[in-house]
Structure 1
Amino acid sequence: MSLSDHVRTLGRGPGRSRSLTEDEAADAMAQMLAGAAPEAVGALLMLLRMKGETAEEIAGFARAAQAPLADWLQADLDWPCYAAGRTRGLPWFLLAAKLVAGSGARVLLHGWNGPDPAIRQGLTALGIPVVATPEAATRALDGQGIAYLPLEAAHPALFRLLDLRRTLGLRSCVNTVCRMLNPGRASASVQGVFHPSYRLLQADAAQLLDWRNLSVIKGGGGEFERHPGMEIAGFGLRDGVPWQGSYPARVQDHRRLSDLDLPTEALTALWQDDNGPEFARQIVLGTAALAFDTLGAAPDLTALWRARSVLQSA
């Protein structure tokens, strides 16, 4: 089938159009990644936006998008980060990811955050390796247990589809597909969303993809980063079975995450010297606790925080 056939399936009009099957979605994504006519690509993505994506469509798109990444080393925890950061302060979740990696789990972050430089700056400040090849990822995961994979380096074709937001003026389902990419084929994944309706969509798509463990939350700015002063609802999978959970607030503090208006150096101050607001520390510990829960672990977070590896001075 051509991509125009899939556009026709979606756009025939009331009573005649329908959603794509998982196999049709996989075929459509393969064609888009291979360089299908841009007019057809734009039409398909915007028809899906108007209709609303199904779990079958997201699963099919993700399956096709993941196929070119077969050479990447397997990780233990998949950690996508694709939000624009407009309602989030500093990326404190990076410290949570380092804490999980320090326990022995291999954590592979991947992402793209548009014009928001905070995450890339945070990676540099915290010494988290940024990798562009499977070989570099292997060295980083073997050496530090953590690595960040920029989407534009790992999957240029998918990045071009994601970057169509600048042309189309609207978010497309590619944002969700990127969160489902799991380039390290990890058995556990943590995902944040901005719109709560996407929590079940991503959980249902993950089950179709035969994932084992997944936690999706409405996180800070759309990232997997929990607010420590609020009860958090989680959705996803445990051992391949649909799961929902609830986590109580850790502190009595209801400020917004973005109210912590601090420079990037605050990330290293908290990690190196345990110097910073208690609210930020609880963001880190609470986010790490959810990640560990996804991995099926429940370590003593206080002890793990005290024993964390301290960055060496430059």
Structure 2
Amino acid sequence: MSISSYIKEIGRGAAGARSLSAEQAQDLMAQVLDGSVSDLEIGAFAIAMRMKGETAVELAGFLAAVHERCVPIPSDRPVVMLPSYNGARRLPNLTPLLALRLAQEGARVLVHGPIQDPKRVTSAEVFHDLGLPVAQGVKDVERAWARHEPAFLRIDALCPSLARLLDVRWVLGLRNSGHTIAKMLDPVSGARGLRVCNYTHPEFGQLLAQYAQAEGADMLLLRGTEGEPVADARRLPRMDLTLRGVPHPALSCAPQEGALAQLPVLPRENDAATTALYIQSVLSGEKPAPAPLERQVELLMGALAAMQDEALAPSA
């Protein structure tokens, strides 16, 4: 098999490239994930899509192929999904704190991502230093939920073929469409998944919003912290919620404007051990939780409540 016909369409440069249909995108990604094409073709695909940029239709096709190859995570109630693929570079990685605060409020939470990154502090490393085991499969996820804890599932256990595509980054030096798709995964079966998707560029945020509305997704969109799905502890970002693709302004918030009155108390270092100690002090009440993070918890819990109300409402 070959994806050369697809590369011919998407590889014509920023001005001449043509977008794929959902069916074409699904077939292309399926071949890439199944390893039925050469390394040269995978590299060409990664560079071509990086130059062209994905459309909402292509994202839907790519996701369909990935979801077919994901391990399904069964649940009898909605799950908040926190894709953690960037880690900490300068600021503490507070995705584990967000996950734990949601779990404290009674939410079922699934965090997924890589175990290590040579240049970042991953959520998996913070989970480890918090004494929370990294899940190796579905049974471990279920055990974490039974303990009323968030579950961290490594991406190579959730979707091994996607993990291999993510690793192409270490050869090419660039992220690829796999990294975009990883942040949009919904592997939950038997219940709805509430995806928390972050963006760093406004254009990508608009693309994700288009996808959510077209595909009827449950999604909280925000400009995350260094690529993580957690609100910046220093300033409240804009957060937009859609349920079944419909925007919910009452469960969204505008960004904080103007000068900051005061900065939150954050650890000076961002290593995993220091971050874990800080998170423990917040959870115990010794230190206050960052206000933007608490606002994010409030919106997500409100979204889960709305989803529950929809489930209980009599059908017309």
TM over 0.5: yes
1:275 aligns with 2:286: yes
Contact 2:239 2:255 in 1 (8 A): no
The residue that corresponds to 2:312 in the other structure is none
Supply the AA of the counterpart residue of 1:120.
Answer: A
TM-score (norm 2): 0.81
The separation in 2 between residues aligned to 1:128 and 1:286, in whole angstroms, is 24
The residue that corresponds to 1:206 in the other structure is 212
Supply the AA of the counterpart residue of 2:220.
Answer: S
Contact 2:83 2:111 in 1 (8 A): yes
Aligned pairs for 1:258-273 (under 5 A) are: 260-261=268-269, 263-264=274-275, 265-272=277-284
Larger deviation, residues 119-128 vs 22-31: 119-128
Aligned pairs for 1:125-204 (under 5 A) are: 125-185=129-189, 186-204=192-210
The separation in 2 between residues aligned to 1:15 and 1:98, in whole angstroms, is 45
Aligned pairs for 1:198-277 (under 5 A) are: 198-211=204-217, 213-242=218-247, 245-247=252-254, 249=256, 252-253=260-261, 260-261=268-269, 263-264=274-275, 265-272=277-284, 274-276=285-287
The separation in 2 between residues aligned to 1:199 and 1:257, in whole angstroms, is 29
Supply the AA of the counterpart residue of 1:30.
Answer: A
Contact 1:229 1:253 in 2 (8 A): no
CA-based RMSD of the aligned residues comes to: 2.8
CA shift, 1:14, in A, is 8.2
The residue that corresponds to 1:86 in the other structure is 89
Gaps of 5+ in 2: 307-316
- Over 3 Å counting, the alpha-carbon distance change for 1:202 and 1:256 in structure 2 is farther
Aligned pairs for 1:51-90 (under 5 A) are: 51-74=52-75, 75-87=78-90, 89-90=91-92
Supply the AA of the counterpart residue of 1:79.
Answer: L
CA shift, 1:218, in A, is 0.7
The separation in 1 between residues aligned to 2:14 and 2:224, in whole angstroms, is 36
Quick one: which of 275, 285, 289 aligns to 2:298? 289
Larger deviation, residues 184-193 vs 54-63: 184-193
CA deviations on 1:225-244 (whole Å, 9 max, x unpaired) are 21355342223523322456
CA deviations on 1:3-30 (whole Å, 9 max, x unpaired) are 1121122135688641111111111111
- Over 3 Å counting, the alpha-carbon distance change for 1:14 and 1:216 in structure 2 is closer
Gaps of 5+ in 1: 298-314
The separation in 1 between residues aligned to 2:282 and 2:182, in whole angstroms, is 30
TM-score (norm 1): 0.82
The residue that corresponds to 2:26 in the other structure is 26
CA deviations on 1:44-77 (whole Å, 9 max, x unpaired) are 1211111111111111111110112253223521
The separation in 2 between residues aligned to 1:176 and 1:48, in whole angstroms, is 11
The separation in 1 between residues aligned to 2:43 and 2:67, in whole angstroms, is 21
The separation in 2 between residues aligned to 1:181 and 1:52, in whole angstroms, is 19
Contact 1:130 1:147 in 2 (8 A): yes
- Over 3 Å counting, the alpha-carbon distance change for 1:108 and 1:294 in structure 2 is same
CA shift, 1:101, in A, is 1.6
CA deviations on 1:235-290 (whole Å, 9 max, x unpaired) are 35233224564345499446599874362322222223x223x4x53244233123
Contact 1:77 1:190 in 2 (8 A): yes
Contact 2:87 2:123 in 1 (8 A): no
The separation in 2 between residues aligned to 1:257 and 1:157, in whole angstroms, is 40
The separation in 1 between residues aligned to 2:264 and 2:101, in whole angstroms, is 23
The percent of aligned pairs where both chains have the same amino acid is 30
The separation in 1 between residues aligned to 2:262 and 2:130, in whole angstroms, is 27
Larger deviation, residues 159-168 vs 117-126: 117-126
- Over 3 Å counting, the alpha-carbon distance change for 1:181 and 1:39 in structure 2 is same
Aligned pairs for 1:90-101 (under 5 A) are: 90-101=92-103
- Over 3 Å counting, the alpha-carbon distance change for 1:41 and 1:8 in structure 2 is same
Larger deviation, residues 237-246 vs 176-185: 237-246
